[in-house]
Amino acid sequence: MSQIKETVLENITTSETTTATDLPPTPRKNEPVEDLRPDSTSELESTPQQLEKSTIWPLLWDFLQTLLLALLLYGGIELISARIRVEGSSMHPTFEDGEVVIVSKLAYKFGEPQRGDVVIFHYPNNPKEEYIKRIIGLPGDRVEIRDGQIRVNGHVLEEPYISEEPNYTYSLTVPAGTLFVLGDNRNNSNDSHNWGPLPMKLVIGKAVFVYWPLSKFGVVEHYTFDLESGS
């Protein structure tokens, strides 16, 4: 009997030992446990850089789009308009020295000059300079200045905008392709009565708006002469 019991115990011990080797070892107390999860440290470290890139590029693209749009708008505005600063008193009292005027470059692309229009042009004797004057005569008009009055085709012009009546005498028939222009400050203006008719090709555009100083802010008033009634 004694031998039989030992054999059974021996068999049981051997079986338990075999079964135990099939299981993972049980960690002892205070022994660190191996983390079998995927190592995500490298992913966490790269995330801020990826986030920074994903933030910078959209902002840069938005900035470039805004810049391009601004340049296109500026170029478009420059094509259809100009800004000039009035210097001197030749257009007093309509315009004063230092006023800033917006000029429409398209006014005479889609329309014709009219008597009474205020125009900006390159000075014929020095095209680098820009002048501002009022149209008095169109091609074919007969202009006469005498006795303090201006006559166009025999009709006296009523001009409420001038500073004083002209104290000189002048007459001509306006040639084709030109305009006869005068400053509103008749006796203190370098204009067509000094250097002759203005070639249309030198006209920049029509004055349309004053935006500086703010006290003069507003639309430029143009006068249309009714030659039948003289106004």
**Could you say which of 40, 81, 90, 231 is catalytic?**
90
Distance CA 29, CA 152 (A): 117
Helices (H), the chain: 2-21, 41-80, 192-195
Angle at 206 between CA 189 and CA 192, to 5 degrees: 30
Provide the CB-side half-sphere exposure for 6 (13 A, CA).
3
- Locus of tokens 């040639």: 175
Closest alpha carbon to 206 in 88, 87, 80:
80
- Locus of tokens 């802010």: 217
Q: What's the distance, Cα to Cα, between the start and end of the chain in Å?
A: 149
Angle at 105 between CA 101 and CA 109, to 5 degrees: 150
The reply to whether 133 belongs to the active site is yes
Q: Are 192 and 181 in contact (CB under 8 A)?
A: yes
Tell me whether residue 201 is exposed, middle or buried, using C-beta atoms within 10 angstroms of its C-beta: 0 to 12, 13 to 18, 19 or more.
Answer: exposed
**Could you say which of 53, 81, 133, 171 is catalytic?**
133
3-state secondary structure of 101: strand
Distance CA 198, CA 185 (A): 18
The reply to whether 206 belongs to the active site is no
Residues acting as catalytic residues: 90, 133
